[in-house]
């Protein structure tokens, strides 16, 4: 039982950790970092990674309708300054076990957030609930079990509407949306429900997640197969913190299992990334990964095991009936996304998480989408894996320039 639980927890970590290092010693050392519950303003993302590069940055907060207090960073102008004027807003949404720093790990001339600002956009960086700078709540603390009672369903229904609505109210304009990994999943789910469509101009989705049934990452598959809600409830674990001592100890233990190689965790987790520099990996390890809820990890594992795109399954017909009015969780129907809504997809041939087979299945579901006037664009980068999209040294030339061309059309 203990061995199974070890595999359950550590495999879940490996399932969604979007970047690490090929040298396990550095990775294990980084996992011993802890979080402060109430970071000071001087410790914010603006101060750490934006203003020190010469850019103007504003710290904002927005409260969701279920009480979570989320942080947002705004880069209103590029490095040359000037008046914000009526620049078109762009909202950047990170993936699971990451935060808004996702978009700031590369040098300014290569990081998407800075590139967009320098191209004349009003850039907003989102941070999902539970991450370092979005751990507040109007009545709960992170020590409360109720604080962690959410999966990506709640990101769809609460975080995204609050964040998009706030940016819309602040700017008075509809925005472009750019997501990575889980940030694509939540957007697609919201669009399929008819949410946000009156405030979003277009969506560019990097490493798009709609289905996970063909995910090729070995560790991810093992984790999903063993990630059973009953065992996790027995452990009474609510927060999944990759930098917590328990996760670090589990990773040490699993690396001792005969036949398990921890010498190249990056490839085992995300697929073989082509173009990461050690300095970028070092910056990632300084600030990431970030916590999420255990319920969210269970929800993602349900997608892997079943190959479905559905709301959280409580594995009990009565509980499902109580939440959904039906014995099984409802599906998110991608065919409900308006065919005229502009979408851009970029996916990699080496991605072990956003597997090309799953992405192509998603694209096939959306095949009726209107491709006139650049409303439906796809890019396939054969040698890219999951972390390349936010950390590769040539991501600007390989991907971001095409994203900019797409945004310019809409």
Q: What amino acid positions are annotated as catalytic residues?
A: 181, 351, 386
In sequence order, the β-bridge partners of residue 293 are 239
- Calculate the CA 32 to chain-centre distance: 22
**What is the phi/psi pair of residue 326, to 5°?**
-155, 155
Q: Distance (Å, rounded) from C-alpha 46 to C-alpha 30?
A: 22
> Nearest-CA neighbor of 38 among 103, 102, 134?
134
- Calculate the CA 119 to chain-centre distance: 24
Count of C-beta atoms within a 10 Å radius of residue 107: 14
> Nearest-CA neighbor of 269 among 307, 216, 224?
216
* Residue at token pair 């597997």: 355
**What is the phi/psi pair of residue 72, to 5°?**
-135, 140
Q: Distance (Å, rounded) from C-alpha 209 to C-alpha 307?
A: 12
Residues 6+ apart with CB under 8 A from 376: 342, 343, 366, 369, 370
Residues 6+ apart with CB under 8 A from 278: none
Helix, strand, coil percentages, rounded to 5, for the chain? 45, 15, 40
């Amino acid at each position: 039982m203990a061995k199974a639980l070890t595999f359950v927890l550590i495999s879940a970590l490996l399932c969604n950790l979007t970047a690490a290092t090929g040298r396990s010693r550095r990775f294990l050392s980084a996992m011993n970092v802890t979080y402060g519950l109430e970071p000071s303003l001087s410790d914010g993302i603006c101060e750490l990674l934006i203003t020190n590069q010469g850019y103007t940055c504003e710290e904002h907060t927005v409260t969701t309708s279920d009480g979570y207090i989320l942080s947002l960073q705004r880069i209103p102008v590029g490095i040359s300054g000037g008046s914000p004027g009526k620049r078109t807003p762009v909202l950047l949404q990170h993936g699971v076990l990451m935060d808004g720093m996702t978009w700031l790990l590369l040098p300014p001339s290569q990081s998407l957030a800075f590139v967009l600002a320098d191209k004349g956009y009003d850039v907003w960086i989102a941070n999902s609930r539970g991450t370092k700078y979005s751990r507040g709540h109007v009545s709960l603390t992170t020590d409360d079990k109720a604080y962690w009672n959410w999966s990506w369903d709640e990101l769809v229904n609460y975080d995204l509407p609050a964040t998009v609505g706030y940016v819309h109210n602040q700017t008075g304009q509809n925005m472009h949306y750019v997501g990575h990994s889980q940030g694509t999943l939540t957007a697609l789910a919201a669009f399929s429900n008819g949410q946000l469509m009156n405030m979003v101009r277009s969506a560019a989705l990097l490493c798009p997640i709609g289905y996970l049934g063909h995910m090729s990452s070995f560790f991810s598959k093992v984790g999903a197969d063993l990630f059973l809600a009953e065992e996790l409830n027995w452990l009474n674990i609510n927060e999944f913190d990759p930098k917590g001592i328990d996760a670090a100890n589990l990773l040490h233990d699993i690396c001792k299992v005969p036949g398990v190689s921890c010498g190249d965790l990056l490839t085992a987790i995300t697929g073989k990334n082509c173009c990461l520099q050690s300095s970028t990996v070092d910056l990632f390890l300084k600030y990431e990964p970030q916590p999420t809820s255990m319920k969210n990890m269970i929800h993602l594992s349900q997608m892997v095991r079943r190959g479905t795109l559905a709301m959280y399954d409580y594995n009990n017909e009565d509980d499902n009936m109580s939440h959904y009015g039906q014995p099984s969780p409802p599906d998110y129907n991608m065919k409900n996304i308006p065919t005229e809504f502009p979408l851009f997809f970029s996916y990699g041939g080496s991605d072990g998480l956003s597997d090309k087979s799953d992405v192509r299945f998603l694209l096939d579901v959306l095949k009726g989408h209107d491709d006139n006037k650049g409303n439906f664009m796809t890019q396939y980068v054969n040698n890219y894996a999951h972390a390349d999209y936010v950390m590769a040294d040539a991501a600007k030339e390989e991907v971001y320039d095409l994203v900019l061309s797409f945004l310019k059309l809409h």
